[in-house]
Amino acid sequence: MAYVITAPCATSKDASCSGVCPVECIHPTPDEPGFAEAEQLYIDPLECIDCDACMAACPVDAIFPEERLPAEHAGYARINREHYS
């Protein structure tokens, strides 16, 4: 299981989550190229260690464990995976 970033991130791109990630699997970060152009942030499902730190840090409640994604955000698991394909 990995965590998934969903639609509320698209309006904020707050990046609090990337600052607390112990394995740095959330991109783009504000200091990386492409941050301004990115629609949202993404979690690399192969690197995520399911620590829950990102979910707790997200100010807009945009991060969920993949297995508990709300129905209206179900497609975001694919969107996050495809970002890293």
Domain count, the chain: 1
SS (H, E, C) the chain: CCEEECCHHHHHCCCHHHHHCCCCCEECCCCCCCCCCCCCCEECCCCCCCCCHHHHHCCCCCEEEHHHCCHHHCCHHHHHHHHCC
CATH code at 31? Answer: 3.30.70.20
pLDDT score for 1: 67
Domain that holds residue 17: 3-83
Tens of pLDDT along the chain (85 residues) come to 699 999 999 888 999 999 999 999 999 999 999 999 999 999 999 999 999 999 999 999 999 999 999 999 999 999 999 999 8
Asked whether the beta carbons of 59 and 43 are under 8 A apart, the reply is no
pLDDT score for 16: 94
pLDDT score for 85: 86
pLDDT score for 34: 92
